[in-house]
Copies of this chain bind each other. A is one copy, B any other.
Amino acid sequence: MLTSIATVCLSGGLVEKLHACAAAGFDGVEIMDADLIAAYESPEEIRALCDRLGLTIDMFQPMRDIEGVSDDVFAENLRRAEAKFDIMQRLGTDLVLVCSNVATASVDDDAVAAAQLGLLADAAAARGIRIAYEALAWGRYVDDYRHAWRLVELADRPNLGVCLDSFHILSRGHDPAAIEEIPAEKIFFLQLADAPRLDMDVLSWSRHHRLFPGEGDFDLTGFLAHVQRAGYTGPLSLEVFNDTFRQTDVTRTAAHARRSLSWLADRTARERGTWADRLPEPQRAQGIDFVEIGGGDLDAVDRLLDRLGFAFRGRHRTKPVRLWTAGDARIILNEQLRAERPRLSAFGLVVADAASAAARADALGAPAVYRRSYAGEQELPAVASPDGTEVYWNDAPDGWLAEFEGGRGVESFGGRVDHINVAYPWQDFDEAVLFMTSAVGLDAEPPADVPGPQGLVRSQVMRSRDGIVRLPMNLAPPTAPMPSRHIAIRTGDVIGVARAARARGLDFLPVPDNYYDDLAARFALDPELLATLRELDLLYDRDDAGEFIHFYTPTIGDVFLEIVERRGGYDGYGALNAPVRLAAQRRAGVGA
């Protein structure tokens, strides 16, 4: 697989962008005209830098508003083109993108457009330059790749072919199957972009909201499969206009972009049953091995877990690490993170082949995590997710339990980890979605907005298909503090757990009385249940499938716990209660 990326995807100056692309492992780049124009380096210097960095300049782009015009306008367009061909020869690239005419087209006649494309190709041929013609989704007369291909066929020049862009095709709902009818040698270039399904004008959608493959709603594996079956063997190139990636760190975004292509090629190969470009097998999570809270002083967390009814299972033989359990829910307290406030620092997944899971994450560019271990201790491979939370894989689940000694507590309830709630600043959100999809094997559910007291919090649930791993991710608004993370424990009797915890002196996040008045209005609840909810600061939700009862502990450092009970087939997270929780936490002095 050859990989490429348009320089317009990244922030900074052209030289920075090229360094970042090379560092991320791209084979080539598409150089955007505007990036070159704003650079002090000459085309010859850029060419030499790309040579040194091992980057091919796969395409120069774009040439706009060429075809479908009157003769005098076309003559002027040819003059413009010749000037750009000069630049291309200095850059040492032989392929130029020509987008279908948006602004100046005045002749809606395929014969005229094809003739003009032919003349442009002839002018290019004299310089050894090839033309990749692309239908923009908002082209004046040509807005469909099949139409662009008809024009290319009609013009019939060896150095004229098409450029296919997944956004322009899928955003319009055009069937990509006809790509297979285009001869491989006439597909000169392939641009890939994902996007969320948005109901807005396609130009704004394209210019502001494109995403890297795996982060949006397009069926890019199906799209790529068509292109591969057509016989295309050129670069897979990313062209992603996105307001966020235009301003995030260039090196990090380039790595993120490169990961999206590895994911896409792997997924497409698996769906097609082909072997090239496969990464190590994705490992389905069979369970959550543990969740870890790290920090310099976790005494308050010990106290919290004790009052909740967790059992203390002892200290680690060689490290300042403690284990608490409630049934299958295992929480590790790690005081090796010396100077830090308590936070959700890691979680572990039970898989069939931990080494393969780690190898896959490594192939996707996730940084490996090192932790010192001693002879006889179980070693778990791990990587860091984009916010630093570490992800461990374990294929010998109970192996490390024996490393903890001196426990004495008795569990007062059985539970399991229901979900792990993490949070990302807005600029790292899409990267996190791709990481969780590609390296951890979770799927993205449709996102929702939750009104918090300091702005809308976007909630994006990532989960394994069977629901064993559920990872709601919160996106913080730019000016608001990051939401705290939390661990939700599922039990069959949340009322009993709450009552016992209260008897042991646990503080609850207090719920306003008005909430219960509203609950009574919304649902015709049994008065006794309502009284119990009110007494114990429990929150409630219901849908057609079942009921959800839950409560929150106060926040310690940057983490808190939630205890949940799912009755019937309720599969949500009590989203309607989130604004109440956020307001209560803000009042308690915690970040929104």
Contacts and interface: CB of A to CB of B under 8 A. Distances in A.
A176 interface: no
Interface in A246-282: 246-248
Given A477-B243, A521-B80, A38 B200 contact: no
A246 B13 contact: no
Interface residues of A, number: 61
Nearest to A198: B200
A84 B520 CA distance: 10
B456 A246 contact: yes
The residue in A8, A37, A39, A42 that gathers the most chain B C-beta atoms within 10 A of its C-beta is: A37
A478 to B, nearest CB: 4
A524 interface: yes
Contacts of A521: 80, 83-84, 87
A466 interface: no
Majority secondary structure, A binding face:
helix
B247 A480 contact: yes
Interface in A340-396: none
Copies of this chain, tallied across the complex: 2
A580 B37 contact: yes
A71 interface: no
Contacts of A108: none
Contact of A517 (B83, B455, B456): B83
B247 A13 contact: no
Given A11-B453, A200-B201, A201-B199, A512 B479 contact: no
Given A42-B513, A454-B11, A479 B518 contact: no
A287 interface: no
A201 B427 CA distance: 25
Contact of A39 (B201, B455, B456, B512): B512
Interface stretch (A117-125, A413-421, A581-589): A581-589
A40 interface: yes
Interface string A51-67: 00000000000000000
Contacts of A80: 521-522
A38 B478 contact: no
A456 B246 CA distance: 7
A25 interface: no
Contact of A33 (B201, B455, B518): B518
A415 to B, nearest CB: 28
A579 interface: yes
Contact of A199 (B43, B200, B426, B579): B200
A451 B242 CA distance: 11
Contact of A243 (B453, B456, B520, B587): B456
Contacts of A43: 514
Contacts of A207: 449
A520 B37 CA distance: 12
Interface in A219-246: 243, 246
Given A456-B243, A479-B427, A587 B198 contact: no
A510 B427 CA distance: 32
A79 B521 CA distance: 7
Contacts of A208: 456
A206 B484 CA distance: 29
A76 interface: yes
5 contacts: A11-B453, A43-B514, A208-B456, A243-B456, A246-B454
Question: Which 8 pairs between the two chains have the least Cβ-Cβ distance?
Answer: A247-B455, A83-B521, A200-B200, A38-B583, A199-B201, A478-B478, A246-B455, A37-B518
